[in-house]
């Protein structure tokens, strides 16, 4: 947790993602201040933690942003080298996010996308929901 500079409770901005299934719901946001400052203006990023009712984070096999070298390849979403609890927790996370319409970058279990170009390509959508914005 120290790698990400702490935890803050956050809510997604209503209207930030028109029609998105998570709009307005509470989330745990983790990240260095600089990570949040570098967000693209046409999209919003959140890092979610899978937790118990008491707020204890569940093991997902590697820290967020672990490289293949650091993690021995366990950063891959479907890594065969996970222990049973981490594999189960990833399955729960994956089912929830896929059920909400997100798609996963298979090389990073924590990286999910909704409405961007990658999402459009994977889902077969005609175009991304989000794109460049004039400032």
pLDDT tens for each residue of 60-70 = 999 999 999 99
Give the mean pLDDT of 49-68: 91
Percent of the chain residues topping a pLDDT of 70: 63
27 falls in which pLDDT band (50, 70, 90)? very low
Burial of 28: CB neighbours in 10 Å, binned 0-12, 13-18, 19+: middle
CA dist 115 and 133 (Å) reads 14
Domain ranges of the chain: 2-123
pTM of the predicted structure, to 2 decimals: 0.65
Helix or strand (DSSP H, E) at 9: strand 7-11
Nearest Cα neighbor of 72 from 57, 83, 88, 56 is: 83
């Amino acid at each position: 947790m120290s790698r990400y500079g702490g935890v803050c409770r956050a809510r997604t901005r209503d209207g930030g993602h028109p029609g998105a299934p998570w709009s307005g719901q509470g989330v745990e946001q983790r990240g260095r201040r600089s990570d949040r400052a570098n967000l693209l203006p046409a999209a919003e990023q959140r890092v979610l933690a899978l937790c118990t009712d008491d707020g204890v984070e569940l093991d997902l096999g590697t820290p967020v942003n672990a490289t293949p070298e650091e993690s021995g390849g366990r950063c891959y979403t479907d890594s065969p080298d996970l222990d049973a609890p981490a594999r189960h927790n990833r399955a729960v996370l994956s089912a929830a996010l896929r059920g909400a319409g997100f798609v996963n970058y298979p090389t990073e279990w924590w990286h999910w996308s909704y409405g961007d170009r990658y999402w459009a390509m994977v889902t077969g959508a005609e175009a991304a929901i989000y794109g460049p914005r004039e400032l």
